[in-house]
Each structure stands twice: as structure tokens, then as C-alpha cells.
Structure 1
Amino acid sequence: MPGNRTTMSWALALTLALSALGTGCSGGSDQATGDKTVLRYTWWGNPDRAERTEKAISLFEKQHPRIDIQTSFAGYEAYKQKLATQAAGGDAPDVMQLDYRQIDQYAQGGILLDLGTQSSVLDTSDIDPGLLATGKVDDTQYAIPQGRGTETFAYDAQQWKKAGVGLPANGWTWDDWADAVRNVSERTGKPGSVDPGQSEDVFEVWLRGQGKSLYTKDGDPGFTADDLTRFWTFTDGLRREGAVSSAEDTTQVDGTVENTPLGRGTASGDFNWDAPTAGLVPIVGDNLVLGPLPAGPSGIGQYFKPSMFMAVADSTGHPKEAAEFIDFMVNDLDAARVLGATRSIPVNDTARDTVVPELTGIDKQIADYQQSVEGELKPPPQAPPSGDSGLQTTFMRDYDQVSFDKLSPREAAENYLTEAKAELRQ
């Protein structure tokens, strides 16, 4: 989602890759308050996730009175850029939250600790081996998944029912979705959805529904300019009709649900991952419903993926304590109860079996939503190659050129592929 709309330059990417050659510890790694070890922990998210995370950390600090966790969080785009800058400067936080799209980049850059060295304190035996393996690069465990999530089309059911349209259901198509958002717009005077043209995540689901992929096994783009032109022509056409959010509304999206068109009340639907939708509850209330993404000619393109990971900086002065903290956040049942589904459904099997039956409200809705698509989704793709994280911003920036009538979908698609190939070669 867009925030600061500048892609990390090749120079910064190179610095990130070379920063492992520097010396020194993560700022805060050797800090101490009296006899306490101080660890810096940073993540992205919304206020709901922040509140629950702080409560879980309080439990950890009570159990580990000699460890003090200093926290910070931000919206995804701001977080991503700040973390890249910290890592490039040799100042990565001791413990950090990472996205699936960041693992390869940070591991190959020498930023992350080999967590296999902390197996005496970090228990991974209750995590599905396939899910655990998503945190590996070249057979080294650099990160631990915290939850399992999938994308959703979150919508204001009151507005959709008011429009008299069929509600999202398994098996609906992109044509069904387009017809629905047109009708919602015409009958309520409000766009039926955010414009999905700005989202590389939605484009990937659309591509998989066409029988294609975002990347090949070798890490090259798995689609052509024709494919991206078709997608952007489709979404831009809906924008011109007023069926999806305007260019001005879409460019305000910054990775926080509060600044989505649905969160601001200027549209009636939003494409997002399931866990962050909890932040919409104070805004949309009981009318918030989670639906599946539309299917393409080759079937459903969405998939289950690790919602996010926890990793430790290789430069930390306290690897054991950092691993203990991850162990607590992933495995402790009391922590799981506090965190609920704020990072999607727990990855620990025992925690999931314990927590899911106790969930209420939006947490239960997320669990029920995942259950509703269980067995319907294709296997996830391999983790994206280094460079993809920055390309998410490039994708949004190039689509801005379309939505503000600066470039045609074809021109923007060709620009994007040129930029993507150059970024992936670095």
C-alpha cells in the first residue's frame, strides 16, 4: 500500500546487501536499564495490533523480568522504508517483523541471524514443517512465521445489501465483482470498492486466476506487458465509471486500514489481507464482512501464506534473549489468547486449537473466513525474490500514472516491466 512513494534505490539496496560487512551491534542491543537486557522490537500494523502486542509483551516481561522490550510500529509502507534505512546503516532492531516479500532480501543481505543457532530456546516443533520452511533461505532458518493468512474482499454489508446485489461468495468471478461494484456505486452513490489496480497483491491473485504467476522459479517476471495491460485496462475502466475509488482517494492509501477508502467511508469495499481488517471494526462496525477474492478462468488465485514473520538481527548483542522473545510470541498460549487473530490465525498448532474456539468478534470472523476457503485454494508460490519489496511501490507509482491520465495502461505496463527487470537484476 502506498505511503512514501519512492522505491528503494539501487544504491540503498546495495548498501543493504553490504551492511553485513560492517561491525557494531543493533542500536539498543547492548543497552541496559540496571541489570536488564533491552531489546528493540518493531513491527507494522494498526492500533488494534499495537494494543494487543503491548499486552503480550507485558506478559513476557513479567515472565522474564530481566528483559525489557522497547517497541515501535508504523503503517506498512513507512515501516518498510524505515527498516531498510536502519538495516543499511547497521542499526537494525534486535527483533523485527518481516513480510514474505522481505525474507530473501534481508537474508541475502546478511542482516538476519541464523535462528538454527538458537534451537535450545526457540521451539519450532509445533509449527507445520511446510509453513516453517517459508522462513528459510538456502536451507537456513532466518525467520519464524507468526500466523497464516489469506487475502479477502472486506465490505460494508449494509451498503451492499442496500444496493440489492449478490454478496461475495466462493466461486464468484472478476466479471461478477465488476458488475457488483457498478451496481453498488449506482444505487448508493458511493464506489463499491477500492481501485485494486494499485495493488501488486491483487494483481498476483488475478494472474494466478489466469494460470500465470507473478514470478518464475528463477525469480523473473512471470507475466507479460499484455497481461498487466489487460489488468490495468480493466481496473482503470471501472475507475472511469465511478465503480471503484477515484485516483485522489486511492493515492491516500498508505498501508493502514484507516486510510483506505473503506476506512474513510468513501467506498464500500477493500482488498486486503485478513488480519489487518480488524482495524476496520471501529469504523465499519458489525456491518464489516469478509468475502473471498474473485476467481479467474483458471480458478481461484488467492492462497494461504505466512501472514508475517519474526526475525532477529545478526548484529544483535543478545541472540538468546531475542530468540526467547520469539519463542514466547509464537508458542505461549496466554500470548496467543491476547494476540488473537491480529496477525491472523496462530501458526502454532496447539495455540491454534486452543485459541480458535475462544475467538469472538472480528477474530472469529477471520477464523471462520479461513475455514470457508479451506481446501479451495491452490498452494502458495515460492517467496518472492530480492527486489520485489521495492517493486510494490513501483507498481503503485506506475498505476498512479494511469489513474491520473498521465500514461495509458499499455505505456505504464511497459514501464513497470522495464523497471522490474532492472530491479530484479541487482
Structure 2
Amino acid sequence: MPEPRSGRRRFLRRRAVATAVAAGCSTVLLAALTSCGASGAAGHHITLTFTWWGNDDRQARTEKAVRLFEKAHPDVTVQMSNADFGSYKQRLATQAAGGGIPDLAQLDYRQISQFATGGALLPLDSYVKDGTVHTGEMDPSLVHTGHLAGKQYALPMGRGITGYVYDATVFAQAGIPAPQPSWTWQDYAEVDAKIAAMKLKSPDGRTVAGSNDGGSNEDVFEDWLRSHGKQLYAGPTKLGYTEQDLAAFWSFCHRLQKSGALVSAKDSAQADATGISAFSRGLDALDYSWDATFTGFTSPTGHTMRYAPVPGVDGKAGAYFKPTMLIGIGAHSKHPQMAAELMDFLLNDRQAGDVLGVTRSQPPNRAIAAEVDRKLSGPDLKVWQFDEQMQKYGVQPPPAAPPKGDVAIESAFVREYQRVEFGLASPAKAAHELVVQAKQELES
């Protein structure tokens, strides 16, 4: 277990003084600390920048945890910023291209390769090796997702899994039992059709569809692939699927969409553009989501919401536990040591863990996760129980972080499927175009 922060802080100060004396610096404590450059020493105030995306609950909890760090480090101020995911991704990419991301940044799984190979992230290996950042209480396979080309560039902030938020009230009205981990994609299609056939009305008077259209979501496709025994990438420069695999997935989605079992092309495109789900507008009864965001969903109808597994094939789950998000240090940080200490505090401090709870899903530190579990209630407890259910059911380990070209491929994935949605291309033609673009990105 990590030693108490206060004790560790005193140790760092004593070590700094001892080093200063050995180097012939002034024997006066203040002079020794400041003249030898000890970060955060008295008279040497540090300002760190820390940025993340997330809902209001995540923002409030994160800010509260950071204030605890500042209280323990009165010579450190942390400037924080938060945004919705779409805006955040664009802003962080602009910052990386323009000279540097903040001292500490929350990162999406798909951004690791892009930023690490682009020189925007600082390797963490030295901080892990000297004990500044502890990883001993974390699942090694989860830690490895932030590893690239022999170096650790980021660490997980939470462990999560994908699923479907669903309207339990509508399911009960339709006589549909709660989906179990063993349900299939065919079951999913039949549920969507059954709900759509009920002709329920949304708050704006339109017919409620069964589900959102996951055809434009690369995460849904990856779960589909894995349930069929394949993967998204077979290596840093190689796709793990064929045109035929993608065409089959897009055909499956588009047939359901054209039948009215999924939300309309217009509403699907609007959700892609705004990040506002069709479910939150009362337009469908199921919506693909990460478990960490389930607690932020609201029902405009006031119905009861539950969380269901992603469908599989012949009992094989395609969903997997992966970092809901990771955290890294900007390569150009002026205070990387203190940024590493803040990172460790957020990941391993018991008080911070208690404050953060499951706002990023299960804490990566397993000891903290066990403590948080005992205090959960309401939607947070339901997410936890769901994760435990999937853990017992059995899922495969997470793959390595997607290669550098994935960010561009993900954008192309949305564009190509929208052509299918609006009748501008067949699933086969769009799949061919996507695979051609993907191979170019991976090989460039």
C-alpha cells in the first residue's frame, strides 16, 4: 500500500535537504531547498495545469480531490479545465500540435499512440521505477494499455466496460426480460423490432425506436468483431478485419435502421455531431454506452433505467474491460515531478479515491476499489454490480492501445457509415472505401 502522503512529503523534504548539504549548498533549510531546485519548496510556488472531460459530477468530484492535494501541498496551485468529450478531443489535439498539452491530461485510449509517437507525452517509467507513481495495486493488463514501443506513457484512471443503457419500464411493457451476458446480436435485433412495433411516442411525438444506430461507432464494431473471434487491429500497421466483416456489420445495422427498429439517420447523425444521445431525448429504449457514463443518463419520461451487456455470439462476449480513460504528463511540462505526484495522488490516495468514487468507473487501484465498493448505492452500485457480473461471466484481456492512425480512421468510420445511413453508398462500397483509407493511415 502507498505510504501516507504526509509521511512521504516529509521524506521528500528530508531527502532534498540531505542532497543539498552533500552538494555543498547552504545549510539553511530554505536556501538549500530553493537553491538546489527542489520542486514545490517554500518560496518556490508551482502552478500545474490539469485538464479532463466529463459530466458535472465528474467535474465536482475531481475538483474536490485536487483541492485535497493542494491542501497537502500549500506551495502548489492546480489550474483545472473541463469540457465535453468532443470539444476536449479537438482542443487537446490542437494543444499537442501547437507546442504542448497541459502538465496533466486525461486521455482517451485511442489518443495514446497519436500523442506518444508525436512527442506530446512524457514517458512515466522513471517515476514508476523510483516509486513516485505506484502501479503495484493495479491490474498489469490494464496498466499495459498505456504502454507503447517499450515505454509507459499513460496510466489508467478507471476500469470500465461497454454495455447498453435501457428503459426498464418499456422492457416490462413489452414483456422483454432483462438482457443477460449470454444474449446475442440476433436477440438484440428482435428486441429492437418488438419495441419499435409498440409504436410508443417520444416526448416530441415521434415513434420510439428500439435502439440507437451503432453503425457509426467504432467501439460497437470492435465489440461485434471480438464476439465473432476477430479484432480491430492485428498490429501497428495492420487491420484485424476485412471489407466483408465491416460490410456485414454495416448491413446488419442498416437493415434494422431502415425497418424503423433503430433511430432515424437524421437523429443518429445529430447524436454523432452533438454527443447528445437519442436515449436522453426519449427517442429509443436502448443506447450503447460506457458503464462510467450510465450514472449521468437521464430519462425525459421518468422511466426506470438499467444497464445491459453488449450482445455476443454463441456465448462469446465481445466487450472487454479497458481503461475508461488514462492520464499522462505533457512532454513539455516545467514541473514533471510534481505532475507525477499529483497523478499518483489521484490514482492511489485513499482520500482521493473516496472522493472520486466511480465517476470514472472502477478505480484502477484494487485496494481503493474494494473500499469504494462498500460505500456505493443507487446507480453507482448498479454499475459496480454489472461489472462484477461481467467479470464472473468472463471477458478477454484488453488489446494494446490502437495505433497512431486510429484517430483518423475513427473519423472516417463515422463519415462512411453516414453515407450508408443516408442512402449515398451501399454497405459494401462504404466498407471498401473505409478499408482503403484505413490501410493508408496505418501505412503512412
Identify the residue that residue 260 of structure 2 maps to in structure 1: 242
The equivalent residue for 2:243 is: 225
Deviations 1:208-256 (A, max 9, x none): 1111111113441111111111111110111111111111111122587
Number of positions where the alignment pairs a residue of Structure 1 with one of Structure 2: 393
Separation in 1, partners of 2:345, 2:401: 25
Tell whether 2:133 aligns with 1:115: no
d(CA) in 1 for partners of 2:197 and 2:434? 33
> What residue number does 1:339 align with?
356
SS at the partner of 2:210? coil
Match of 1:200 among 213, 218, 233: 218
Cα separation, 1, equivalents of 2:287 and 2:180? 15
Q: Distance in 1 between matches of 2:318 and 2:70?
A: 41
**1:129 and 2:140 correspond:** yes
Matches within 5 A, 1:257-276: 259-276=276-293
Q: Which amino acid aligns with 1:74?
A: A
Q: Distance in 2 between matches of 1:120 and 1:347?
A: 17
Aligned twin of 1:351: 368
Q: Is the 8 A contact 1:75 1:255 kept in 2?
A: no
Q: What is the aligned-residue identity percentage? A: 42
Deviates more, 1:277-286 or 1:131-140: 277-286
Separation of aligned partners in 2, 1:282 and 1:54: 27
Q: TM-score, normalised by structure 2?
A: 0.85
Q: Choose from 293, 299, 323 the match for 2:316.
A: 299
Distance 1:335 1:390 in 2: 35
CA distance in 2 between partners of 1:323 and 1:336 (Å) = 17
- From 57, 61, 64, the counterpart of 2:66: 57
Structure 2 CA distance, aligned partners of 1:245 and 1:419?
27
Which deviates more, 398-407 or 277-286?
Answer: 277-286
Q: 1:310 to 1:286 in 2, by over 3 A?
A: farther
Counterparts in 2 of 1:52 and 1:128: CA distance versus 1, 3 Å = same
Q: CA RMSD in A?
A: 1.9
Matched, 1:371 2:388: yes
Unaligned runs of 5+ in 1: 1-29
Q: Is the 8 A contact 2:183 2:315 kept in 1?
A: no
1:173 equivalent in alignment to 2:184: yes
The answer as to 2:108 corresponding to 1:71 is: no
Number of the residue aligned with 1:3 = none
Cα distance in 2 between the residues matched to 1:94 and 1:285? 41
Query: In structure 1, how many angstroms separate the alpha carbons of the residues matched to 2:224 and 2:173?
Result: 28
Q: Secondary structure at the match of 1:290?
A: strand
- TM-score, normalization by structure 1: 0.88
In structure 2, the CA distance between the partners of 1:93 and 1:285, relative to structure 1 (3 Å rule), is: farther
Change (3 A) 1:283 1:338: farther
Could you tell me how far 1:41 is from its partner in structure 2? 1.1
Which entry has the higher C-alpha Rg, 1 or 2? 2
**Structure 2: distance between partners of 1:59 and 1:281:** 30
Tell me, in whole angstroms, the C-alpha distance in 2 between the residues paired with 1:42 and 1:381.
Answer: 26
Q: Which runs of 5+ in 2 are unaligned?
A: 1-38, 201-206
Matches of 1:83 and 1:285, distance apart in 2: 36
Amino acid at match of 2:52: W
Q: Aligned pair in 2 of structure 1 residues 122, 379: CA closer, same or farther (>3 Å)?
A: closer
* 2:227 paired with 1:209: yes
Question: One-letter code of the match for 1:250?
Answer: S
Over 3 Å counting, the alpha-carbon distance change for 1:125 and 1:286 in structure 2 is farther
Aligned to 2:160: 149
Structure 1 runs of 4+ off > 3 angstroms? 254-257, 281-286
Counterparts of 2:195 and 2:167 in 1: how far apart (Å)?
11
